[in-house]
Amino acid sequence: MGSFSIWHWLIVLLVVALIFGTKNLRNIGSDLGGAVKGFKEGMRSDDETPKQLKDGGRTIEGEVKDKKTTDV
Domain boundaries, the chain: 6-43
For the chain, the average pLDDT equals: 77
- Residue 63: the pLDDT is 77
Q: What is the pTM of this model?
A: 0.40
Task: Write the CA distances from 41 to 36, 38, 51, integer angstroms.
Answer: 9, 5, 11
Task: Write the CA distances from 39 to 26, 27, 44, integer angstroms.
Answer: 20, 18, 9
Question: What is the rounded distance in angstroms from the CA atom of residue 15 to the CA atom of residue 13?
Answer: 5
**What confidence tens digit (pLDDT) does each residue in 42-70 have?**
887 655 555 555 556 667 777 777 776 66
Task: Write the CA distances from 47 to 8, 43, 50, 51, 57, integer angstroms.
Answer: 49, 12, 10, 12, 19
- Residue 23: the pLDDT is 84
